[in-house]
Amino acid sequence: MKLLLDTPIFIWLIDGNPNLSQTARQAIEDESNTLHLSIVRSYFLLLG
């Protein structure tokens, strides 16, 4: 399965934030899934 991670989800993942559900974490950590990271939101945050 292809997963598109938005910036907050990626940050929650690397920070170990409990807001990221166990289901989401398992899907992200499943090596049979392909992960894609959306950088659009980060870009707009940088623009201010």
Does the pLDDT at position 42 exceed 70?
no
Tell me the C-alpha to C-alpha distance, in Å, between residue 26 and each of 20, 29, 31. Answer: 10, 5, 10
Does the pLDDT at position 4 exceed 90?
yes
Average pLDDT over residues 26-45: 86
3-state DSSP assignment of residue 14: helix
Does the pLDDT at position 39 exceed 90?
no
Beta strands per DSSP E along the chain: 2-5, 34-37
Terminal alpha carbon distance of the chain: 33
Q: Where are the domains of the chain?
A: 2-47
Q: b/e for 9-37, b at 16 or more Cβ within 10 A?
A: bbebbeeeeeebeeeeeeebeeeeeebee
More confident residue, 21 or 47: 21
pTM: predicted TM-score of the whole model, two decimal places: 0.73
Average pLDDT over residues 35-48: 76
The pLDDT-based confidence of 48 (bands split at 50, 70, 90) is: low
